[in-house]
């Protein structure tokens, strides 16, 4: 009798365990970071900050110019769905290269070097890249501006004065395509203004990059991941987007 009762209780317990619903597996959002080494401070530390909240991948092709990235976009995106693509181009575009070589080889303009991507072509390439990202199903996009040139990256093949020029062209494209912008250039430029002595600016710049500058970027990425997906197509507007507080022109 006792053995019969024990078997019955065991079977009943097993049945209730089988019927107990299991908690659904949490699917973490997927984030792709695409940017060159000038943004390593921001992107590498952002990936570390988000590692427990999202599946973050830093693309090994972030060093490419915008045109080269556009040509290899399928390789960059792979077969995965991306909930957020945080991307940046500029430094590899404005660099001067040897026009006689099919490979990108740095050459100063004084020696006959030409820009990898002329400023006249840069906006169009960026616009096509954004369109391809959205066509591939990327739910959310975030553009990150180029930061002021670090002293260690100075070269005769790079004109640091062109960084804000390309940066402004990129901002215009992103606003036209309703892509949110994180202005890393403004963030770093403001910090550089705090240098106690202009004569030691390079040393201050080096010290700055020893600090974690990713906090505001991580906050923006979290905001986007918690918001609805962005429209798959560029919104049509009769007037270009204005900055907050900027009055619209009247006819």
Tens of pLDDT, residue by residue over 6-44, are: 444 455 554 554 555 555 567 899 999 999 888 988 999
pTM of the model: 0.80
Structure tokens that stand for 224 in this block? 């986007």
- Where is pLDDT greater, at 230 or 176? 176
Question: Could you tell me the CATH superfamily of domain 28-225?
Answer: SGNH hydrolase (3.40.50.1110)
Q: Dump pLDDT digits (tens) for 74-115.
A: 999 999 899 999 999 999 999 999 898 888 888 998 989 999
Alpha carbon distance 116, 122 (integer Å) = 10
With helix as H, strand as E and coil as C, how does 40-61 read?
HHHHHHHHHHCCCCCEEEECCC
Alpha-carbon separation of residue 80 from 85, 139, 152, 180 (angstroms): 12, 12, 35, 22
Beta-bridged to residue 87, according to DSSP, are 34, 143
């Amino acid at each position: 009798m006792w053995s019969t009762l024990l078997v019955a209780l065991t079977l009943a317990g097993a049945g209730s365990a089988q019927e107990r619903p299991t908690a659904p597996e949490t699917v973490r959002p997927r984030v792709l970071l695409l940017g060159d080494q000038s943004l390593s401070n921001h992107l590498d530390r952002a990936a570390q900050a988000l590692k427990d909240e999202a599946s973050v991948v830093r693309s090994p092709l972030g060093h490419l110019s915008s045109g080269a990235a556009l040509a290899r976009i399928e390789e960059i995106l792979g077969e995965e769905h991306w909930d957020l693509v945080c991307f940046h181009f500029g430094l590899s575009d404005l660099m001067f290269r040897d026009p006689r070589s099919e490979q990108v080889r740095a050459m100063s303009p004084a020696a006959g070097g030409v820009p990898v991507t002329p400023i006249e072509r840069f906006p169009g390439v960026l616009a096509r890249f954004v369109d391809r990202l959205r066509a591939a199903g990327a739910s959310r996009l975030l553009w990150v501006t180029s930061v002021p040139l670090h002293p260690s990256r100075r070269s005769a093949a790079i004109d640091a004065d062109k960084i804000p020029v390309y940066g402004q062209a990129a901002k215009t494209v992103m606003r036209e395509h309703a892509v949110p912008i994180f202005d890393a250039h403004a963030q770093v430029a403001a910090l550089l203004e705090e240098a106690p002595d202009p004569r030691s600016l390079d040393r201050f710049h080096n010290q700055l990059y020893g600090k974690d500058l990713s906090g505001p970027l991580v906050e923006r990425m979290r905001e986007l991941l918690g918001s609805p997906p962005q429209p798959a197509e560029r919104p049509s507007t009769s007037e270009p987007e204005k900055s907050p507080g900027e009055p619209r022109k009247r006819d």
